[in-house]
Amino acid sequence: MLGRKKKIKNRLRAKGVTPTHFDRSQVKILAYMVPICLVMALPIVFIFMNAFKPVDELFAYPPRLYVKNPTFQNFEDLFSLTSQTNIPMSRYLFNSILYTALTMVITIYISACAGYVLSKKKFKGRTALFKLNQTALMFVPVAVQIPRYFVMVYTGLIDNFLANILPLLAVPTSVFLVKQFLDQLPDSLIEAAVIDGAGDVMIMRKIVMPLIRSPLATVAILSFSSAWGSVEASTYYIDNDSLKNFAFYVSTLSNASGNVVAGAGVSAAASLIMFLPSLILFIIMQSRVMNSMAHSGIK
């Protein structure tokens, strides 16, 4: 038996495969992690199952986690339903995709530039600016809602396309993450590029941006989450229904359907559409997010 095991190991090594030994400590870790993962996955499973439940299963008592008779009727009702202003759901969904994409791209660019300046540029007041950014981390959006509204009024952005984008571009957390990550990069990289005649734009494109992909992935997720699920602009700043986003449309589904029972299925389908992009984006960028958290001083 031992000779057979050695032959198998030798064959694996010859093929370039290193045999691994199963440690008993891994069993203990799995015994803790698997139940925790299952419990944490229950809300995700619940969202998926609810979206495909017929009306009778949505109101079944006692409620069931799984679905017996899956149906796409909820999605068909969602796409065929229009609001009280007769604007189709696809219009709201298109607005959300457009607002979210623009917000992500601009936020990533602003955070990268601000983090680079605060980390690698030497100028008077740099420390004060960074402390001001840290102070802004303490303010939740609700605390600045009224001042933000007055700013939107005085700048003439009420009922404007930019009202869904501009309030979401100032993200102190993103600037902090990028700046802390850049602090760990050697200044010699920037100095060598300057000696070779590269300007700030070239340094950002060729050196800084490729090196900070991990924190920028975190910035992308944060900006996506805030823009995709934001209803503040559509509620307080936008009067034209054709400019409102999908998140606002979801919040009005129970009234738009005219039937609470039928609206439950439509709301379940809309909740899945709202949740799915965030889940996919996080799964794709998970490794980069963990890397950025480990290198930015946030444990």
User: How many other CB atoms sit within 10 Å of the CB of residue 179?
Assistant: 21
The reported pLDDT for the residue numbered 298 is 44
Encode pLDDT of 30-47 as tens digits. Answer: 777 888 888 888 888 888
Q: Measure the CA–CA gap between 51 and 265, rounded to whole angstroms.
A: 7
Cβ neighbours of residue 291 closer than 8 Å, sequence gap 6 or more: 214
Q: How confident is the model at residue 262 (pLDDT cuts 50, 70, 90)?
A: low
For residues 171-187, give the mean pLDDT. Answer: 86
Dihedral over Cα of 162, 163, 165, 170: its sign: positive
Give the Cα separation of 276 and 278 in Å (integer).
6
What pTM value is reported for the model?
0.77
| pLDDT at residue number 104 | 92
pLDDT 10s digits, 34-90: 888 888 888 888 888 888 888 777 777 777 777 888 888 888 877 777 655 577 888
Q: Where do the domains of the chain lie, and which CATH numbers do they carry?
A: 97-245+276-295 (1.10.3720.10)
- Mean pLDDT calculated for residue range 196-206: 84
**Residue 106 confidence (pLDDT):** 93
Is residue 260 pLDDT above 70, yes or no? no
Q: What is the pLDDT of residue 99?
A: 92
Q: What is the pLDDT of residues 140-167, one digit of tens each?
A: 778 888 888 888 888 888 888 888 898 8
Please check the confidence at residue 25 and state whether its pLDDT lies above 80.
no
pLDDT of residue 297: 47
Q: Kindly state the average pLDDT of the residues 24-33.
A: 74
pLDDT in tens, 106-121: 999 999 989 889 888 8
Lowest-pLDDT range, 175-189, 258-272, 283-297?
A: 283-297
